[in-house]
Structures are given as structure tokens and as C-alpha cells.
């Protein structure tokens, strides 16, 4: 893999990720762009003990533009996009409408005596998986999917080294039903200045389990799923995918490396290649489930930057809100109001359907 760095017209960083035999990519951004807003701030919720990101400038972000104005497509004669080159393999650049910024300054010094306010320091990046606007991740070859994996690894390592960053989150949201604002195949990376609530909860559970049993919670969860087999969807030399026994979403699969590592950056070469293959297999199973593209969220749960207790275990949570060919799962009052999920299908049945396709 080779990388090429560039600076966009407003100072944001862009990085091309290409196979070794790819041509050189254009780096000059010929647009006249306004300064990127850095007015992101964090506010502490004292009831839930969670940080909330405030980024009002994101109201102006691009929303479902026509194909000929897609900002993630390569630049061409008559149209300049976020990507200066006329083609690319994978490209990563800082988000033009970031929720977090390395230049953030809190706009409010105090809003409430119990609500701490901090600058929203961090970084938000866009990861374009392909220059083909009509493609999806599932359409990639194993080699090109591997290039995305390598980009995730690269960004995880580099962003984790930024002072103040506590966790790096690689993810993809696909489908208008999910709320995606750009249809070009892409994902994002967030570098948070705090440990996210979901990760903090998992870490608390892992610590309690270790204190009770002396063992690792997620290692034992994976072992039990493999031994039972009823919810396993796919498995390879280095990875295993299963529907969790207490799945919340209509279609939900967790993907774990068999060797316990904390982050994508800790995967070896064989594990990365194997990941590209099994991930493509899972995405294709999702799309064959109802013979139509399935809206989904793919969320990489990586270890926190400072993990003195060694509690974390890298894994992917891949899930969809589509509960049948023509119905969506909405977060109703129990889920939205109280955080108590109601699942309409048994995980064992979902796993069987995914194996069958």
C-alpha cells in the first residue's frame, strides 16, 4: 500500500490509500473554500454521566445532492469535489462539517452549575471506499476491501496518537433509512476526547466479570457461541461471526477475531486479509436476505487509548433496522424513552436465515 498526503483548500488534510501499482494522484485543490468551523463543544450530562457533542454548524452540511454534484466523487472537468484526483482507490479526508475538531473552542463558558462545558477537541474523517458512486462496500474485491482495512488500521494508529484522544471509532452507515446524507460508498472515523458510553458500559461489565471469575468476558462469550453453533453465521481461520443471543436489532451480527486484540492496528497481515474476506461475505449475506440492499450500520468497537486494566476486545457490530422485506424497526417508546429494547425475532432464527442465503 502507498499513501499520498495533500492539503485541501481550507487546510483540511486528505490522504490517498492506493495499491503499490496505482498512478500518482492529483493533490492540488483548486476550489475557493470558506474556513471550516471549529465551534464544537462538549457538555456533561450529570444525570447519565455522559458527554454530549454540540456542533450547530452541522445543520448546513450537504444533504442528498444529485449524483453530478456528489462531493465524494473524483473531480472532473467542470466539477471540483472534495477529492482533487480524477480517480482513487481509497481516500480519507477531514470532515468539512466536523462534530469534533483539533481546533475546537468552546463557545459557552457556563450554561448550568452542574453542566461542565469543554471544547469539542478531536477529529472527524470521511473514508471513501471507492471512486465508483454506484458501488457499495459489498461490491469491492477482496484486495480493494483489504485496502479499506489498511486505511482503518492507519487511521486508528495515527489518530490514537493525538493528544487528548481517548477512543477511535471506525464506522459505516448505509441507506437513506438509516439517515445517510450522501449515497456515495463511504464511512467515517471519529477520534473522541472521551470514552464513549457504550464502551464504558462494556468495560464495566468486563471488569466485574474478571473480578468474579478471573476470566475475560468477551473471550468467554465468543467461545460459548462457537461451541453452541446455533447462532454462528460464518467462521474462518482468524474470525468468527454470530448473532448475539440477546440481539437488539432485527438483523444483527457480531464479528470477532479469534485472537484477542484491542484495536484494528494490532491485527497481523493474515488477520487483515481474512477480515476482508469474511466481512465481504457478511455484507453479501445481508444484501441477499431480502434480495435488495439492506440498510445497515457497521460499528467497530475498538479498545480505548488508555486501557491500564486490559479489558478491551476488538469487534464489529453489524446491524440493520429492516425487520422484513417491507417493514422497518423503529425505536419506539420503550427503546427511545427508556433504552429497553424489544426484539421481534429470535436470534437463532435470524442466524439460520443468514446461513441459508
Q: What is the DSSP string of 308-352?
A: TT-----EEEEEESEEETTEE----HHHHHH-----SS-HHHHHH
Q: Is 70 annotated as a binding residue?
A: yes
As separate numbers, helices (DSSP H) first and strands (DSSP E) second, the chain gives 6, 16
pLDDT the model gives residue 106: 66
Please write the tens of the pLDDT for every residue from 130-184: 999 999 999 999 999 999 999 999 999 999 999 999 999 999 999 999 989 899 9
pLDDT the model gives residue 267: 98
pLDDT the model gives residue 111: 78
- Cα–Cα distance measured from residue 143 to residue 149, given in angstroms and rounded to the nearest whole number: 10
Regarding the domain delimited by 2-194, which CATH topology (the fold level of the hierarchy) does it fall under?
Answer: HIT family, subunit A (3.30.428)
Please report, rounded to a whole number, the percentage of residues in the chain having pLDDT higher than 90: 90
| Residues annotated as catalytic (active site), given as ranges | 186
Place of cell 457538555: 43
Please report, rounded to a whole number, the percentage of residues in the chain having pLDDT higher than 70: 98
What is the arithmetic mean of pLDDT over 114-123?
94
Please write the tens of the pLDDT for every residue from 344-353: 899 999 999 9
Please write the tens of the pLDDT for every residue from 290-307: 988 999 999 999 999 999
What is the arithmetic mean of pLDDT over 234-255?
98
- Cα–Cα distance measured from residue 226 to residue 76, given in angstroms and rounded to the nearest whole number: 50
Hey, do 2-194 and 198-356 end up sharing a CATH topology, with the first three levels equal?
Answer: yes
| pTM for the structure as a whole | 0.96
pLDDT the model gives residue 39: 82
Q: Per mean pLDDT, which range of 66-70, 213-217, 312-316 is the poorest? A: 66-70
Please check the confidence at residue 109 and state whether its pLDDT lies above 80. no
- Cα–Cα distance measured from residue 222 to residue 348, given in angstroms and rounded to the nearest whole number: 15
Give the CATH architecture of domain 198-356. Answer: 2-Layer Sandwich (3.30)
- pLDDT bracket for residue 261 (50, 70, 90): very high
Average pLDDT over all residues of the chain: 95
Q: Is 184 annotated as a binding residue?
A: yes
Domain boundaries in the chain?
A: 2-194, 198-356
pLDDT the model gives residue 64: 84
pLDDT the model gives residue 291: 87
Q: Is 133 annotated as a binding residue?
A: yes
Please check the confidence at residue 277 and state whether its pLDDT lies above 80. yes
- Cα–Cα distance measured from residue 296 to residue 354, given in angstroms and rounded to the nearest whole number: 15
pLDDT the model gives residue 248: 96
Q: Is 170 annotated as a binding residue?
A: no
Please write the tens of the pLDDT for every residue from 10-21: 999 999 999 999
pLDDT the model gives residue 105: 79
**Smallest Cα–Cα separation from 67: which of 166, 150, 183, 178?**
183
What is the arithmetic mean of pLDDT over 11-34?
97
* Sheet with strand 296-301: strands edge to edge: 2-7, 13-18, 90-94, 123-128, 186-192, 167-174, 296-301, 315-320, 251-257, 239-242, 232-235
Please check the confidence at residue 110 and state whether its pLDDT lies above 90. no
More confident: 39 or 91: 91
Q: Cβ–Cβ contacts within 10 Å for residue 29, how many?
A: 21
What is the arithmetic mean of pLDDT over 221-235?
98
**Smallest Cα–Cα separation from 187: which of 141, 233, 234, 140?**
140
- pLDDT bracket for residue 108 (50, 70, 90): low
Amino acid at each position: 500500500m502507498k499513501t499520498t498526503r495533500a492539503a485541501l483548500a481550507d487546510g483540511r488534510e486528505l490522504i490517498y490509500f492506493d495499491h503499490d501499482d496505482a498512478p500518482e494522484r492529483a493533490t492540488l485543490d483548486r476550489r475557493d473554500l470558506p474556513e471550516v468551523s471549529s465551534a464544537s463543544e462538549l457538555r456533561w450530562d450529570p444525570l447519565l454521566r455522559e458527554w454530549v457533542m454540540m456542533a450547530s454548524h452541522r445543520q448546513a452540511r450537504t444533504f442528498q445532492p444529485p449524483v453530478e454534484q456528489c462531493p465524494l466523487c473524483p473531480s472532473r472537468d467542470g466539477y471540483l469535489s472534495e477529492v482533487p484526483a480524477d480517480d482513487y482507490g481509497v481516500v480519507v479526508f477531514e470532515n468539512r462539517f466536523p462534530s469534533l475538531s483539533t481546533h475546537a473552542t468552546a463557545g459557552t463558558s457556563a450554561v448550568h452549575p452542574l453542566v461542565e462545558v469543554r471544547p469539542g477537541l478531536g477529529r472527524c474523517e470521511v473514508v471513501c471506499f471507492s471512486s465508483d458512486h454506484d458501488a457499495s462496500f459489498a461490491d469491492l474485491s477482496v484486495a480493494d476491501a483489504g485496502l479499506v482495512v489498511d486505511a482503518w488500521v492507519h487511521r486508528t494508529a495515527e489518530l490514537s496518537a493525538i493528544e487528548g484522544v481517548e477512543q477511535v471509532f471506525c464506522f459505516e452507515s448505509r441507506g437513506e433509512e438509516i439517515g445517510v446524507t450522501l449515497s456515495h460508498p463511504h464511512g467515517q472515523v471519529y477520534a473522541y476526547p472521551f470514552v464513549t458510553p457504550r464502551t464504558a458500559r462494556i468495560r464495566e461489565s468486563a471488569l466485574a466479570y474478571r473480578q468474579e471469575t478471573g476470566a475475560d468476558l468477551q473471550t468467554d462469550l465468543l467461545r460459548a457461541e462457537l461451541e453452541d453453533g446455533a447462532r454462528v453465521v460464518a467462521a474462518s481461520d482468524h474470525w468468527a461471526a454470530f448473532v448475539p443471543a440477546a440481539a437488539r436489532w432485527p438483523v444483527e451480527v457480531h464479528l470477532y477475531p479469534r485472537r484477542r486484540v484491542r484495536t484494528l492496528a494490532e491485527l497481523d497481515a493474515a488477520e487483515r486479509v481474512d477480515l476482508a474476506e469474511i466481512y465481504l461475505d457478511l455484507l453479501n449475506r445481508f444484501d441477499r436476505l431480502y434480495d435488495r440492499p439492506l440498510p445497515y450500520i457497521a460499528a467497530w468497537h475498538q479498545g480505548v487509548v488508555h486501557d491500564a486494566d486490559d479489558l478491551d476486545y476488538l469487534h464489529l457490530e453489524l446491524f440493520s433496522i429492516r425487520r422484513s422485506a417491507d417493514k422497518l424497526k423503529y425505536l419506539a417508546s420503550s427503546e427511545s424513552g427508556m433504552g429497553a429494547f424489544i426484539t421481534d425475532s429470535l436470534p437463532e432464527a435470524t442466524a439460520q436465515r443468514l446461513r441459508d442465503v
